[in-house]
């Protein structure tokens, strides 16, 4: 009986000692690498059921200054910086289904130093092409974009030992939602038509289980919401082929910016080819 009680007390003591050694991790700095989430303007020009539009494009960043600021994680603030690549490229395919619906899917690629980032999207659009001089379209979809990150933590043991710094590096992808609205003119007599693309979405930068660091099985995540506005020009090359030249201003909302602007400015070129009707 005495041995059993002694064993239980010993186990209880070991439990408390082990509990006292579980460190507290506080995020102090987060660096992320990779492109913003991009959505293409979906112009509507003489659409018919069964049309397949193929759209390669290139985005070019207009600022070489990284976005730096402060984020909030677990009700505590941490430094944040986002190193954005100078360009990104991609390919989008849009399939018209009926007189008012379209499905689109795409892939993106970005190179940044020794890092390559891949992404993709899947969405559905509702459009109106019955008006004589202009058309509109609403799109909803999911985008997945690969990102890399470097997280710096201040580790404070519960037993009172001196704190230390630990760094965790990783890369992963997460699905994020987006919505956008595109309106464009479609006057055949004009040498150049115009469009306006508006949208919003969310983006996950990192989502890491704290069990990576210690026995605490909680999650460390940070995401962002964004809005964008994008006007541009449409050049008709005939045969259902168009070139789009556009400017995009994207606003990042969940970051308290301390250096740089509160988002990104980009120029882009998009080629739209109608694969099934020439």
Give pLDDT tens digits along the chain (278 positions). Answer: 444 534 544 554 454 445 545 567 777 888 889 888 888 899 998 888 889 999 999 999 876 656 776 776 666 677 888 888 888 999 999 999 988 999 999 999 998 888 899 999 999 999 999 899 999 999 999 999 999 998 888 877 666 667 778 788 888 888 999 999 999 999 989 989 999 999 999 988 887 765 444 445 445 667 788 999 999 999 999 888 999 999 999 887 766 655 556 678 899 999 999 887 65
State the pTM of this model.
0.80
249 contact partners, CB below 8 Å, separation of at least 6: 228, 229, 230, 263, 264, 265
pLDDT of res. 140 = 97
- Assess if residue 177 is contained within a domain: yes
- The pLDDT value recorded for residue 261 is 60
- Is residue 10 a part of any domain in this protein? no
Kindly report the CATH number assigned to the domain that includes residue 205: 2.40.160.20
Q: Per the domain annotation, does 7 fall within a domain?
A: no
Is residue 1 included in any domain, yes or no?
no
Q: Tell whether the torsion through CA atoms of 11, 12, 17 and 21 is positive or negative.
A: positive
The string of pLDDT tens digits covering residues 105-159 is 999 999 888 889 999 999 999 999 989 999 999 999 999 999 999 888 887 766 6
Q: Is residue 11 part of a domain?
A: no
Half-sphere exposure of 35 (CA within 13 A, CB side): 31
Query: What pLDDT is recorded for position 254?
Result: 62
Round to whole Å and give the CA distance between 203 and 144.
9
**Mean pLDDT, all residues of the chain:** 82
Is residue 228 assigned to a domain?
A: yes
Q: Answer whether residue 13 is part of any domain.
A: no
What is the residue range of 223's domain? Answer: 25-274
As for how many domains the chain has, the answer is 1
The answer to whether residue 122 is domain-embedded is: yes
pLDDT for position 102: 95
């Amino acid at each position: 009986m005495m041995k059993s009680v002694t064993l239980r007390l010993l186990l209880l003591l070991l439990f408390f000692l082990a509990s006292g050694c579980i460190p507290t991790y506080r995020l102090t700095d987060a660096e992320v690498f990779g492109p913003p989430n991009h959505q293409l303007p979906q112009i509507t020009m003489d659409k018919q059921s069964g049309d397949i539009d193929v759209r390669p494009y290139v985005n070019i960043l207009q600022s070489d200054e990284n976005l730096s600021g402060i984020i909030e994680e677990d009700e505590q603030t941490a430094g944040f910086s986002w190193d954005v690549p100078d360009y990104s490229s991609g390919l989008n395919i849009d399939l018209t289904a009926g007189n008012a619906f379209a499905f689109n899917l795409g892939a993106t690629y970005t190179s940044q130093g020794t890092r390559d980032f891949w992404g993709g999207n899947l969405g559905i659009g509702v459009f109106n092409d019955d008006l004589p001089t202009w058309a509109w379209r609403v799109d909803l979809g999911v985008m997945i974009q690969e990102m890399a990150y470097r997280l710096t933590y201040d580790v404070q043991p519960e037993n009172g030992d001196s704190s230390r710094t630990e760094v965790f590096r990783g890369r992963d992808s997460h699905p994020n939602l987006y919505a956008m609205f595109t309106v464009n003119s479609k006057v055949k007599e004009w040498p150049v038509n115009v469009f306006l693309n508006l949208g919003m979405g969310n983006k996950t930068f990192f989502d890491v289980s704290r069990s990576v660091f210690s026995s605490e099985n909680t999650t460390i995540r940070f995401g962002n919401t964004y809005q964008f506005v994008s006007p541009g020009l449409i050049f008709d090359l005939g045969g259902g082929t168009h070139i789009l030249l556009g400017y995009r201003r994207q606003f990042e909302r969940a970051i308290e910016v301390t250096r740089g602007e509160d988002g990104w400015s980009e120029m882009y070129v998009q080629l739209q080819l109608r694969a099934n009707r020439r």
